[in-house]
Amino acid sequence: MLEHVTEERRRPRAGPASGRREQCPSGCEDLAASAATAGPGERTEAASLLLTQAGGKRDRHHHHALYALTALVKHGGAFPTVGAAAERFASHEDLRVRVAGLALQVAADVERAASFAKLLELAAKGSTDESASADVQLRNLPAPLVAAGLVEAMRGGDPIVRARAASLAVGTIFLARESSLDSLLALTKDGDDGVREAAVMALARCLPAGKPFFVDRKELIAPALSALSSDSATKVTDAVAKAQRVLGVA
Protein backbone atom coordinates (compact mmCIF):
# COMPACT_ATOMS: atom_id res chain seq x y z
CA MET A 1 0.00 0.00 0.00
CA LEU A 2 2.60 2.54 1.09
CA GLU A 3 4.98 1.56 -1.72
CA HIS A 4 2.27 2.21 -4.32
CA VAL A 5 1.40 5.66 -3.03
CA THR A 6 5.05 6.58 -2.46
CA GLU A 7 5.70 5.74 -6.13
CA GLU A 8 2.75 7.95 -7.06
CA ARG A 9 4.41 10.81 -5.21
CA ARG A 10 7.45 10.55 -7.50
CA ARG A 11 5.48 10.86 -10.72
CA PRO A 12 5.13 14.33 -12.26
CA ARG A 13 1.53 15.51 -12.41
CA ALA A 14 -0.04 17.66 -15.06
CA GLY A 15 -1.37 20.99 -13.86
CA PRO A 16 -5.07 21.36 -13.10
CA ALA A 17 -7.43 21.82 -16.01
CA SER A 18 -8.73 25.33 -16.43
CA GLY A 19 -11.74 25.98 -14.23
CA ARG A 20 -11.42 22.71 -12.35
CA ARG A 21 -10.45 22.18 -8.74
CA GLU A 22 -6.84 21.07 -8.33
CA GLN A 23 -6.50 17.52 -7.09
CA CYS A 24 -3.99 16.30 -4.52
CA PRO A 25 -0.67 16.34 -6.41
CA SER A 26 1.03 13.60 -4.41
CA GLY A 27 -1.41 10.85 -3.48
CA CYS A 28 -1.92 12.00 0.12
CA GLU A 29 -5.67 11.40 0.06
CA ASP A 30 -5.20 7.83 -1.17
CA LEU A 31 -2.51 7.23 1.40
CA ALA A 32 -4.63 8.51 4.28
CA ALA A 33 -7.70 6.54 3.18
CA SER A 34 -5.73 3.30 2.81
CA ALA A 35 -3.95 3.75 6.12
CA ALA A 36 -7.27 4.22 7.90
CA THR A 37 -7.82 0.44 7.73
CA ALA A 38 -4.17 -0.58 8.13
CA GLY A 39 -2.29 -1.76 11.19
CA PRO A 40 -0.59 0.55 13.72
CA GLY A 41 2.80 0.28 12.01
CA GLU A 42 1.51 1.32 8.61
CA ARG A 43 -0.57 4.10 10.13
CA THR A 44 2.53 5.51 11.79
CA GLU A 45 4.51 5.26 8.55
CA ALA A 46 1.70 6.90 6.61
CA ALA A 47 1.47 9.74 9.10
CA SER A 48 5.22 10.25 8.92
CA LEU A 49 5.13 10.45 5.11
CA LEU A 50 2.23 12.88 5.10
CA LEU A 51 3.68 15.16 7.75
CA THR A 52 7.08 15.15 6.03
CA GLN A 53 5.30 16.22 2.87
CA ALA A 54 3.40 18.89 4.80
CA GLY A 55 6.65 20.36 6.06
CA GLY A 56 8.12 20.73 2.57
CA LYS A 57 8.93 24.19 1.25
CA ARG A 58 9.13 23.53 -2.50
CA ASP A 59 5.55 24.58 -3.21
CA ARG A 60 5.28 28.27 -2.45
CA HIS A 61 1.51 27.98 -2.09
CA HIS A 62 1.92 25.15 0.42
CA HIS A 63 -0.70 23.02 -1.29
CA HIS A 64 1.19 19.90 -0.26
CA ALA A 65 0.85 20.88 3.38
CA LEU A 66 -2.82 21.67 2.98
CA TYR A 67 -3.62 18.41 1.18
CA ALA A 68 -1.68 16.33 3.67
CA LEU A 69 -3.25 17.93 6.72
CA THR A 70 -6.76 17.76 5.27
CA ALA A 71 -6.28 14.07 4.49
CA LEU A 72 -5.18 13.44 8.07
CA VAL A 73 -8.15 15.36 9.45
CA LYS A 74 -10.60 13.25 7.44
CA HIS A 75 -9.11 10.07 8.89
CA GLY A 76 -7.95 11.51 12.21
CA GLY A 77 -8.99 8.52 14.28
CA ALA A 78 -6.57 6.34 12.34
CA PHE A 79 -3.52 8.45 13.17
CA PRO A 80 -3.01 8.42 16.96
CA THR A 81 0.62 9.59 16.73
CA VAL A 82 0.25 12.84 14.82
CA GLY A 83 -1.63 15.10 17.22
CA ALA A 84 1.36 16.82 18.74
CA ALA A 85 2.89 17.34 15.29
CA ALA A 86 -0.13 19.41 14.31
CA GLU A 87 0.91 22.09 16.78
CA ARG A 88 3.88 23.05 14.64
CA PHE A 89 1.50 24.33 11.94
CA ALA A 90 -0.12 26.85 14.32
CA SER A 91 2.09 29.65 13.01
CA HIS A 92 2.28 28.53 9.37
CA GLU A 93 2.25 31.35 6.84
CA ASP A 94 -0.69 29.82 4.95
CA LEU A 95 -4.02 30.48 6.70
CA ARG A 96 -5.58 27.28 5.36
CA VAL A 97 -2.69 25.21 6.70
CA ARG A 98 -3.02 26.82 10.14
CA VAL A 99 -6.74 26.02 10.25
CA ALA A 100 -6.21 22.46 8.99
CA GLY A 101 -3.58 21.94 11.70
CA LEU A 102 -6.07 23.12 14.29
CA ALA A 103 -8.66 20.67 12.97
CA LEU A 104 -6.08 17.88 13.13
CA GLN A 105 -5.58 18.64 16.82
CA VAL A 106 -9.34 18.13 17.30
CA ALA A 107 -9.30 14.86 15.36
CA ALA A 108 -6.26 13.56 17.26
CA ASP A 109 -7.64 14.64 20.66
CA VAL A 110 -4.96 17.23 21.42
CA GLU A 111 -6.72 19.63 23.80
CA ARG A 112 -9.84 18.71 21.83
CA ALA A 113 -12.32 21.00 23.58
CA ALA A 114 -10.09 24.07 23.32
CA SER A 115 -9.07 23.30 19.74
CA PHE A 116 -12.68 22.80 18.63
CA ALA A 117 -13.70 26.04 20.35
CA LYS A 118 -10.99 27.94 18.44
CA LEU A 119 -12.06 26.35 15.15
CA LEU A 120 -15.73 27.19 15.72
CA GLU A 121 -14.86 30.75 16.76
CA LEU A 122 -13.02 31.21 13.46
CA ALA A 123 -16.09 29.92 11.61
CA ALA A 124 -18.34 32.29 13.55
CA LYS A 125 -16.26 35.43 13.96
CA GLY A 126 -13.25 35.19 11.66
CA SER A 127 -12.58 36.99 8.42
CA THR A 128 -14.21 35.72 5.25
CA ASP A 129 -11.18 33.53 4.48
CA GLU A 130 -10.87 32.28 8.06
CA SER A 131 -14.56 31.43 8.23
CA ALA A 132 -14.48 29.58 4.90
CA SER A 133 -11.38 27.57 5.88
CA ALA A 134 -12.84 26.68 9.28
CA ASP A 135 -16.12 25.56 7.68
CA VAL A 136 -14.22 23.25 5.32
CA GLN A 137 -12.31 21.64 8.17
CA LEU A 138 -15.37 21.29 10.39
CA ARG A 139 -17.00 19.31 7.57
CA ASN A 140 -13.88 17.14 7.31
CA LEU A 141 -13.95 16.18 10.98
CA PRO A 142 -15.74 12.98 12.06
CA ALA A 143 -19.42 13.85 12.51
CA PRO A 144 -19.72 12.55 16.12
CA LEU A 145 -16.90 14.89 17.20
CA VAL A 146 -18.58 17.85 15.53
CA ALA A 147 -21.98 17.00 17.01
CA ALA A 148 -20.57 16.82 20.54
CA GLY A 149 -18.63 20.06 20.10
CA LEU A 150 -21.64 21.93 18.74
CA VAL A 151 -23.87 20.80 21.61
CA GLU A 152 -21.30 22.19 24.03
CA ALA A 153 -20.96 25.41 22.03
CA MET A 154 -24.72 25.99 22.06
CA ARG A 155 -24.44 26.29 25.83
CA GLY A 156 -21.55 28.76 25.66
CA GLY A 157 -21.42 32.42 26.57
CA ASP A 158 -20.86 34.06 23.17
CA PRO A 159 -24.12 34.66 21.28
CA ILE A 160 -22.38 34.81 17.89
CA VAL A 161 -20.81 31.41 18.50
CA ARG A 162 -24.09 29.99 19.84
CA ALA A 163 -25.89 31.12 16.70
CA ARG A 164 -23.20 29.65 14.44
CA ALA A 165 -23.28 26.37 16.34
CA ALA A 166 -27.05 26.18 15.88
CA SER A 167 -26.77 26.78 12.14
CA LEU A 168 -24.07 24.12 11.78
CA ALA A 169 -25.83 21.56 13.97
CA VAL A 170 -28.29 20.39 11.33
CA GLY A 171 -25.64 18.53 9.36
CA THR A 172 -24.76 16.30 12.30
CA ILE A 173 -27.78 16.69 14.57
CA PHE A 174 -29.33 13.31 13.81
CA LEU A 175 -26.19 11.65 15.19
CA ALA A 176 -26.44 13.37 18.57
CA ARG A 177 -30.23 12.90 18.70
CA GLU A 178 -31.83 14.04 21.94
CA SER A 179 -28.94 16.17 23.18
CA SER A 180 -28.80 18.22 19.97
CA LEU A 181 -32.57 18.67 19.81
CA ASP A 182 -32.70 19.72 23.46
CA SER A 183 -29.94 22.25 22.85
CA LEU A 184 -31.72 23.75 19.82
CA LEU A 185 -35.02 23.96 21.69
CA ALA A 186 -33.24 25.70 24.58
CA LEU A 187 -31.84 28.28 22.16
CA THR A 188 -35.37 29.27 21.08
CA LYS A 189 -35.56 30.90 24.53
CA ASP A 190 -32.16 32.59 24.26
CA GLY A 191 -31.89 36.24 25.24
CA ASP A 192 -30.24 37.17 21.92
CA ASP A 193 -32.60 37.50 18.96
CA GLY A 194 -29.90 36.40 16.52
CA VAL A 195 -29.50 33.15 18.44
CA ARG A 196 -33.28 32.60 18.52
CA GLU A 197 -33.47 33.16 14.78
CA ALA A 198 -30.61 30.71 14.12
CA ALA A 199 -32.24 28.08 16.31
CA VAL A 200 -35.59 28.41 14.54
CA MET A 201 -33.95 28.22 11.11
CA ALA A 202 -32.06 25.11 12.21
CA LEU A 203 -35.27 23.49 13.43
CA ALA A 204 -36.84 24.27 10.05
CA ARG A 205 -34.11 22.21 8.39
CA CYS A 206 -34.30 19.33 10.86
CA LEU A 207 -37.07 17.39 9.14
CA PRO A 208 -35.20 16.61 5.91
CA ALA A 209 -31.92 16.19 7.81
CA GLY A 210 -33.06 13.81 10.51
CA LYS A 211 -36.23 12.01 9.45
CA PRO A 212 -37.85 9.92 10.75
CA PHE A 213 -36.32 11.07 14.05
CA PHE A 214 -37.85 14.54 13.94
CA VAL A 215 -41.13 13.43 12.40
CA ASP A 216 -41.82 11.69 15.69
CA ARG A 217 -40.89 14.79 17.67
CA LYS A 218 -43.02 17.46 16.06
CA GLU A 219 -44.96 17.64 19.31
CA LEU A 220 -41.78 18.99 20.95
CA ILE A 221 -40.88 21.39 18.15
CA ALA A 222 -44.36 22.86 17.48
CA PRO A 223 -44.86 24.45 20.94
CA ALA A 224 -41.39 25.99 20.85
CA LEU A 225 -42.16 27.63 17.52
CA SER A 226 -45.63 28.77 18.61
CA ALA A 227 -44.13 30.45 21.66
CA LEU A 228 -42.02 32.61 19.34
CA SER A 229 -44.81 33.59 16.94
CA SER A 230 -45.21 36.90 18.77
CA ASP A 231 -41.50 37.49 19.37
CA SER A 232 -40.41 41.12 19.61
CA ALA A 233 -37.88 40.65 16.77
CA THR A 234 -39.35 40.61 13.28
CA LYS A 235 -36.58 38.40 11.94
CA VAL A 236 -37.52 35.78 14.54
CA THR A 237 -41.23 35.82 13.73
CA ASP A 238 -40.43 35.62 10.01
CA ALA A 239 -38.21 32.59 10.66
CA VAL A 240 -40.96 31.01 12.78
CA ALA A 241 -43.55 31.39 10.02
CA LYS A 242 -41.20 29.76 7.52
CA ALA A 243 -40.34 26.94 9.93
CA GLN A 244 -43.98 26.23 10.61
CA ARG A 245 -44.69 25.95 6.89
CA VAL A 246 -41.73 23.66 6.30
CA LEU A 247 -42.51 21.40 9.24
CA GLY A 248 -46.26 21.46 8.73
CA VAL A 249 -46.97 22.57 12.30
CA ALA A 250 -49.07 25.44 13.59
Q: Which residue in 217, 74, 77, 193 sits closest to 138, CA to CA?
A: 74
CA dist., res. 73 & res. 152, Å (int): 21
Ordered alpha helix ranges (H), 172-217: 173-176, 178-187, 193-204, 206-210
Residue 189: Cβ within 10 Å count: 12
SS3 content of the chain, % helix, strand, coil (to 5): 70, 0, 30
Instruction: Write out residues in the chain with pLDDT < 50, as ranges.
Output: 1-22, 60-61
pLDDT at 139: 83
pLDDT in tens, 177-233: 667 788 889 999 999 999 999 999 988 877 555 555 556 677 788 899 999 999 999
Q: Write the CB contacts of 127 (distance below 8 Å, at least 6 apart in sequence).
A: none
**pLDDT number for residue 61:** 46
